[in-house]
Every structure is written in C-alpha cells, then in structure tokens.
Structure 1
Amino acid sequence: MTSTPTAPTRWGLTFPLDGIPLAAQRALVESLPDLGFTDLWSMETAGADAFTPLALASVWAPQLRLGTAIVPVYTRGPALLAMQAAALAEAAPGRFQLGIGSSSPVIVKDWNAVPFEEPFRRSRDVLRFLRAAFTGEQVTEEFSTFSVRRFRLDRVPAHTPPVLLAALRPGMLKLAAREADGTILNWLSPEDVPTARAVFDAEAGPDHGKEVVARIFVCPTEDVDYARALGRRLIAAYLTVPAYAEFHRWLGRGEALEPLWKNWAAGDRKTAAASIPDEVVDALLVHGAPEHCRERIAAYAENGVTVPVPALLPTPDQGARALAAAVKAVSPS
C-alpha cells in the first residue's frame, strides 16, 4: 500500500543563486515569502558550502524553512557534520532539515581526496551516527565504514533536525524510507516520480508522512536552442556518473542514452552530448515561458513530490534584474 500524493504545501528554491555575490542576495531572499516560497535548499559541489548561505538566510528571512540538498557523507568527519547541523538547527529552531547523500566520485575523491568506497554503507552509517549524536548521548560505536569513540555533542539543539537521505535506486530509497525522515530526488522527470515513490512508499508503510524533496533544474527562457544546448551539457556531465547512469537505466532510458555513455567512454564528449535526444532534455530540464515552467514544476508535486525545489540555471539575459525575473518565473505565485 502506498501513500496518496497530495498537493504541496511547500515550495522551495535552490540557494544561493548564481550571478550576484552572496552578500548582495539579501533583498531577493527577503522577497521570497511574498512570492509564495516556503523553503530554501542549499547544495554543495564546487561553489558555496551547504551551511553558510543558509545561516545568512536564517536571519534574512526567518519565515523560510531551510535544508541542505545535499551535504556529502564523506567530505566531513561524522562529528563535524553533526556539529554544523546542530549549530544551524540552533540558529533556526524548528526550521532546518539536514539532507545528506553519497555525492559522486568526482566531488569526493577527485576534489576532496577522500576514497569513495561503499556509498550505501557510508550513507547508512552516517545517518545512524547522526541519529545517535543528536540525542546528546555519548556515541562510541564501530560502524562498518568508520569508528567513533566517546563523542558527545555539547550543544544539542532544542529541535532535533530531521535527516533526509538522497536516493536514486531501490536500495537507497528503501534505506531512506526505513531510517530517514524523507528522501531527496534529483535528475528525474515528473513522470519518473511515481516509480521512485512506489519503492519508497512500499518500504515506509501507509500514511508515513515523510518528505519527498526533488531538485528540479529550470532554465526559464523561451530560447529553446539555448536551453537544450545547456541541458545537454549538464546531462552529459551528470548522467555519465555511474550511479546516475544506472538510475536512468532503471527508469527506462537505457536505449535513449546508450550513445551518450558509449561516446563518453570513448573520450568523445562533444559527440556524446550531441547524442542526447531532445525528448530526454525536455523531460529532465524545465524550460520555456514562466507559465510553462510553473506548470511543469507543479507536475512534480502532482506526481508525489512534497517539496519541489527549482534550481535556476543561467538564461541568455544577465544581471540582477534578469535574476529577479527568473526567480519570479519559478515561484508558485
């Protein structure tokens, strides 16, 4: 038995935004509640870290709920991750959710010099450690991927932050359903959501009430050629990561994306990106007029996402005014 998807009461935005300095984004953040946004969700790749922008936003717009989507489970020690999450939960009482995930070999190994080993077990172990640490009790445990001795969180937040686990395929979706407070989806179409939710809901049980967050890449422009060219570059970069390749095979895109994977493996990245069909780009990247973008984002919610989180991509227009227009284009209002 699965939970029945309902219309979202929350609508997020990926933060910080590109194109203007972080310190200059205060006015834009302050305007978000009036546009219907309820959440800000950070990301962590090679730009800002996941926590600093949210700390600023917690002061700039205290109406907004905050979340990380995601913090890698490898790039901080378990204790430091617990401390950073607890600090933000203390700064924004009852308004912070910690999203964690395995990330990718490029981010973990190539950029942070950490071995990318056993991502399922590492994610499970960090999740279990955080649960224990947030109680304020001393943690001494031999996990399968690391050990902790006599760690106790000195500043225990009054509101324990929910922990969400990023998931793609059934194994991680089931782990998130069993042990986390929700899951975070990425790089899928609205039509793919029921496939992921079927696995998640079956494991979580009926009426579980857990969050299903989705990061949604949006390029609000009617320049179709521009949007598709950008989409092809991003899809080629992400969907050639082994975990994402297997994810899309599971979703049924194996045949459509086989030329991408074959040419990428042969070192011909230009041909690889060019081989991605228009229908795949249009499925995974929201683009078009503001009305179309809003309808497409809403379709994620209609299919079972409880918190849609648009991630704005650059449009042909530049500058603060264009960025403000883009934010409005992906707002629920």
Structure 2
Amino acid sequence: MHADVGRLKEHAAAAAEDGFSGWWLAQTGLIDALTVFPAVADAAPGIEFGTAVIPTFPRHPTMLAGQALTTQAVLGDRSLVLGIGLSHKPVIEGYLGMSFDRPIRHLIDYLEVLMPILADGRADYDGEAFTAHFESARPTDIAPSVMVAALGEQALRVTGRRTDGTILWMVGPRTIEDHIRPRLTEAAVDAGRSEPRIVCSLPVCVTDETEAVRDAASQIFSIYGELPSYRAMLDREGVDHPGEVAVIGSEAEVIAKIADLEQAGTTDFAALEFGRSTDEYSRTRALLKGLL
C-alpha cells in the first residue's frame, strides 16, 4: 500500500470516516509523506496529518521547513505534525553514504535552524552540523507542530526542550513510564514548555491465535530487534523480540494493553493494524473504532 498514492488516499478516507483523529505516514521508499497529505486531504476531512517520521540527514532544515510550510499552506488550518528523526547508522551510512557522526549534535543544530524558520521565516545560526543565514516570506502564518522520534536520554532532553513531543515505535508501556515520559517531561518543564505529546505506534491485531500472530510479528519486524536504538528499548522493556511489545490478543487483551500504554503516559496511540487474515483485520478495526 505504501507505494500506491491511490490506496493511501483510500486508507486515509476510511480512517476519517471511521472517526479517527489522526493519520500518520512514515517517510519510507519513494513516497514523499508531506506531498501525500494535500493529495488525500479532501478525502479525509478534519483528520490530523503527521509524518512518522522524516529522516533529517538527507534534507537540509531550510529545505524541510519550506516543504512543511508549503504543505501547511495547502492544508489551511488543518493540524499538521512534522515528525522528524535521526534514522539509523546502517541506513544513513550504508544506504546513503553519509556520515552518521555525532547524531545528537546534528539534532540540536537541525532544530536550531528548523524551528525559527517555521516560526517566522528566518534563521541566523552557525552550527557544527548545519549553518543557516536565511530569511524569506512564509507561504502561511501557521507553523506545523514539530515532534522528534527520540529514544535515548540525550535525544529526549533535546526533544523536550525544543519541540512538542516524541513519536515512538516499538516501545512498550514500562519503557514509556520509566524512561520516555519522565525524561521528556522534565526537559519540557525546565524549558517552560507545555506537557509534551507522546505518540506511541505499535502493531495491533485482534486474534484467537495470539502466539502464532506474535511469532509472525517478531519475524516481520525482526529488524527492530537488531537496530541498536530499538534493541535498547526492547531490553528496557525486558523482552527479546519485537512481537512481544506488539498489541496482540483477544478483544479484552488488546483493550487492556492499550489502556496500559495510556496509563504509562501515551497521549496518542497510532495503531498499525496487523494480521494474517481479513477476519483479524476486520476485528482489529472494529475494536479500534469502538475505543473512540
């Protein structure tokens, strides 16, 4: 589905029709997430759009600011979240041939350029990773919200100080409660910012075959057990495989797991519907609609 704009439009339209408040799209492959939103907006009225997430290394912050502001201008007063993230060393160095050196310095400098351009169209900053002496008229006075995919302590501190929150993937409730929320919130409070959003995304499946589906999830999402940043979060959670943090089980079990995430500090839950049959997909969507 992710490489087919028509199917993405159908998916967004169904989400809006079913009453969901947000529609999040990952920046992967050759589909540009920010460009998709205006293309599907008329079919999905009222819903919040968010990128989850756009890697920062391939795009200079001045370029991303312009693209995000243009997208916001087309969407009008619709809520847009610009979710960004560092990605991972194997991706940035192995696929793109770019240096992943000093990623936290990169993130700090990126936000020091990005945020003022979004806010008022200008940046005057000399950094180690990015420099920008830039001023231009903005296509809209509405600045998109900015959130960062932050997992480590340093990234959480930077994110809490400078942005509206974090976007998580493959992070369980224990880790959110004991690690993500306290560090993110402390940084936000110290910076005089409001309570940060914590968007948690996990695979969700309502099924009568919990163990089989969990094993399938662990295989499909196995890469997240190998990438160091996600491996660290799984270790904090006390699990071995990605499928163990996925929200899988009967209707009652899935409801309880989502409630655990909310109690741990999740402000927004973005479900990735997952299953091996149309029945599992249908039951999963029906349950999620029932929780609205």
TM-score band (shorter)?
Answer: 0.7 to 0.9
Matches of residues 168-183 of structure 1 in structure 2 within 5 Å? 168-183=151-166
For 1:205 and 1:155, the matched residues in 2 are separated by 30
Residue identity matched to 1:232: S
Q: Is the 8 A contact 1:293 1:330 kept in 2?
A: no
CA shift, 1:72, in A, is: 0.8
For 1:153 and 1:290, the matched residues in 2 are separated by 52
CA shift, 1:38, in A, is: 0.3
Percent identity between the two aligned chains: 22
Q: Which residue of 2 aligns with 1:328?
A: 286
Indicate whether 1:238 and 2:224 are aligned.
Answer: yes
Higher relative contact order (CA 8 A, sep 6+): 1
Q: Which residue of 1 aligns with 2:214?
A: 228
CA shift, 1:285, in A, is: 0.8
Matches of residues 73-222 of structure 1 in structure 2 within 5 Å? 73-92=56-75, 93-149=77-133, 151-195=134-178, 196-205=180-189, 208-222=194-208
Residue identity matched to 1:104: H
Q: Is the 8 A contact 2:199 2:270 kept in 1?
A: yes
Secondary structure of the 2:119 match is coil
Gaps of 5+ in 2: none
Per-residue CA deviations over 1:230-271 (Å, capped at 9, x if unaligned) read: 22224531121122233344x263xx64xxxxxxxxxxxxxx
Residue identity matched to 1:83: G
Q: Which residue of 2 aligns with 1:309?
A: 270
Q: TM (normalized to structure 2)?
A: 0.86
CA shift, 1:227, in A, is: 1.5
Q: Which residue of 2 aligns with 1:265?
A: none
For 2:229 and 2:197, the matched residues in 1 are separated by 22
CA shift, 1:22, in A, is: 3.2
Residue identity matched to 2:5: L
CA shift, 1:219, in A, is: 3.1
Per-residue CA deviations over 1:183-207 (Å, capped at 9, x if unaligned) read: 1222111232211111122222288
Change (3 A) 1:59 1:323: farther
Aligned residues: CA RMSD: 2.7
For 2:185 and 2:217, the matched residues in 1 are separated by 30
Residue identity matched to 1:281: G
Q: Is the 8 A contact 1:94 1:159 kept in 2?
A: no
For 1:230 and 1:65, the matched residues in 2 are separated by 31
CA shift, 1:325, in A, is: 5.3
CA shift, 1:226, in A, is: 3.4
For 2:261 and 2:32, the matched residues in 1 are separated by 27
Aligned length: 287
For 1:140 and 1:210, the matched residues in 2 are separated by 27
Q: Is the 8 A contact 2:26 2:53 kept in 1?
A: yes
Residue identity matched to 2:222: A
Secondary structure of the 2:92 match is helix
Gaps of 5+ in 1: 1-16, 258-275
For 2:259 and 2:211, the matched residues in 1 are separated by 24
Q: TM (normalized to structure 1)?
A: 0.76
For 1:71 and 1:179, the matched residues in 2 are separated by 17
Q: Which residue of 1 aligns with 2:243?
A: 281
Q: Is the 8 A contact 1:135 1:156 kept in 2?
A: no
Q: Which residue of 2 aligns with 1:52?
A: 35
Deviates more, 1:65-74 or 1:240-249: 240-249
For 1:24 and 1:232, the matched residues in 2 are separated by 26
